[in-house]
């Protein structure tokens, strides 16, 4: 490899969008302007499909105000995709790279995106085409390995925590009429998002009262026992479950087992005929306990909610985009930028690097020490880990409710 490589920087976004993914794009574009080696900055529309179809845009022709506006714009400004790349696709990708003299490639995404980037790096090397490939981490699921956390998680976690705080108060106010609320979060195999609800609790009686994660097998009978006991004590119960809540057999609770759907990457999807875990449990609570339950399905609102962005999350998203381009111009390739938490009393993160192949083939689950022994709650260790990532949550006041002495005899 020569000491000085010049050419086009190509940037793409892939997988589920987040509220801060465009901050990473902005960081990469602004950093590229500082390096003479980067002659052009192109964006690929709808992820890797934009390369395959050669649908590229010139990001340097965008107004500076537009690039600056990416900092607060939710979702993926370049468009996203969930395309499983074939061998023929990789040949086409290399042809497009050569046609546009792409020498720097940055892909913003999660596990599957890092796998795609790793494969592109290998194919270019095998072909003898000099290319520097960098991964920029993104996922609300926080399941990328070898990084303390992922940009996008802090804001999604903030949404879950704040929603739990707000709707928990609603449940308290309406408990003569509403008995149970079951909130279902996004997330596949890792319980980082449902765990975030635990950050809403400031006193024992506040929501959430029960939190379940996919790392622990779900037991219906224990669940019903817990709901019944908490309802007797508090008069209402706030439950948080993941979309992929699993039983002891590894089946998704409430799912139609005869109609399993897979995406291009082999990930399980909920079939249209299936109940979600939350809707299934609502029926179970009504049938077995005779309690009225409501279901909350925040879904995509929690993924892209710009109103709940964590300032720290946004700043770190910018930095990982910036550092990916800086590292590429300095000769680094085949790596993803990571966030490294410093062991200080005050929260601080620096950046590091992890091989793309190692990240692509690993999934970071919620550690055992973050889950309570019964598997229905989250420990203080998780709260200590996650709280700095969300920024300061609102503090909701409570009336002291000083009673007035009664004057009427019963």
pLDDT band at residue 262 under the 50/70/90 scheme: low
Catalytic residue among 112, 141, 226, 313: 141
Q: How confident is the model at residue 334 (pLDDT cuts 50, 70, 90)?
A: very high
Q: What is the pLDDT of residue 188?
A: 82
CATH class for the domain made up of 154-305+366-388: alpha beta
**Which of residues 175 and 230 earns the better pLDDT score?**
230
pLDDT at 4: 86
Give me 163's structure tokens. Answer: 């929603």
Contacting residues for 338 by C-beta, under 8 A, at least 6 apart: 137, 146, 147, 148, 351, 352, 353, 354
With the C-alpha atoms ordered 187, 188, 192, 195, is the resulting torsion angle positive or negative? positive
- C-alpha dihedral, 217 to 196 to 324 to 306, nearest 10°: 130
Whether the per-residue pLDDT at 209 is higher than 80: the answer is yes
Return the structure tokens found at 34: 């500082």
Report, in angstroms and rounded to the nearest whole number, the Rg of the chain calculated over CA atoms: 24
Q: Which two tokens stand for residue 208?
A: 């959430």
**In the chain, where are the structural domains located?**
7-151+307-360, 154-305+366-388
CATH T-level fold of 7-151+307-360:
Rossmann fold (3.40.50)
Please state the rounded mean pLDDT for residues 300-311: 92
Task: Tell me the pTM.
Answer: 0.93
Structure confidence by residue, pLDDT tens digits, 9-37: 999 999 999 999 999 999 999 999 999 99
- Residue closest to 339 by CA, chosen among 347, 348, 327, 351: 351
What lies within 8 Å, CB to CB, of 116 at 6+ separation is 14, 48, 85, 107, 109
With a CB cutoff of 8 Å and minimum separation 6, the contacts of 356 are 114, 115, 117, 118, 121, 133, 135, 334, 335, 336
- Same fold yes or no, 7-151+307-360 and 154-305+366-388: yes
What is the percent of the chain with per-residue pLDDT over 70, rounded to a whole number?
Answer: 95
Q: How many CB atoms lie within 10 A of CB 61?
A: 8
Residues 345, 295: Cα–Cα separation, whole Å: 39
Stretch 35-49: mean pLDDT, rounded?
97
E-only strand ranges, 61-150: 102-109, 132-137
DSSP state of 246: B
Our answer to whether residue 141 is catalytic in this structure is: yes
Residue from 104, 29, 109 nearest 322 by CA: 29
What is the pLDDT, as a whole number, of residue 187? 82
């Amino acid at each position: 490899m020569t000491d000085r490589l010049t050419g086009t920087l190509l940037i793409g976004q892939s997988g589920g969008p987040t509220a801060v993914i465009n901050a990473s794009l902005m960081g990469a574009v602004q950093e590229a302007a500082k390096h003479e080696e980067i002659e052009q900055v192109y964006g690929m529309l709808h992820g890797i499909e934009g390369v395959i179809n050669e649908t590229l845009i010139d990001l340097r022709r965008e107004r500076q105000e537009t690039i600056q506006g990416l900092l607060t714009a939710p979702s993926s400004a370049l468009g996203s995709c969930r395309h499983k790349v074939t061998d023929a696709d990789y040949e086409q990708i290399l042809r497009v790279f050569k046609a546009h003299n792409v020498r720097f490639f940055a892909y913003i995404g999660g596990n599957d995106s890092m796998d795609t980037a790793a494969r592109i790096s290998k194919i270019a090397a095998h072909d003898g085409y000099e290319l520097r490939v960098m991964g920029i981490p993104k996922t609300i699921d926080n399941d990328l390995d070898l990084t303390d956390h992922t940009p996008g998680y802090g804001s999604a976690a903030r949404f879950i925590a704040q929603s739990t705080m707000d709707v928990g108060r609603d449940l308290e106010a309406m408990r003569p009429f509403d008995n149970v609320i079951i909130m279902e979060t996004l997330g596949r195999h890792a319980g980082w998002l449902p765990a975030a609800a635990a950050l809403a609790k400031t006193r024992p009686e506040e929501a959430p009262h029960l939190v379940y994660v996919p790392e622990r097998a779900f037991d219906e009978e224990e669940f019903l026992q817990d709901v019944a006991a908490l309802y007797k004590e508090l008069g209402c119960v706030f439950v948080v479950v993941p979309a992929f809540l699993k039983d002891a057999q590894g089946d998704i609770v409430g799912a139609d087992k005869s109609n399993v759907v897979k995406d291009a990457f082999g990930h399980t999807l909920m079939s249209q005929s299936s109940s979600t875990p939350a809707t299934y449990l609502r029926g179970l609570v009504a049938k077995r306990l005779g309690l009225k339950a409501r279901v909350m399905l925040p879904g995509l609102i929690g993924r892209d909610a710009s109103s709940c962005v964590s300032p720290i999350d946004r700043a770190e998203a910018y930095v990982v985009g910036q550092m990916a381009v800086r590292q590429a111009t300095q000769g680094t390739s085949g790596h993803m930028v990571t966030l490294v938490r410093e062991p200080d009393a005050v929260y601080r993160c620096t950046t590091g690097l992890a091989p793309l192949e190692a990240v692509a083939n690993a999934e970071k689950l919620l550690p055992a020490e973050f889950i309570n022994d019964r598997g229905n709650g989250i420990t203080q260790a998780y709260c200590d880990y996650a709280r700095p990532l969300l920024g300061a949550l609102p503090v909701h006041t409570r009336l002291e409710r000083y009673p007035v002495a009664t004057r009427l005899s019963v």
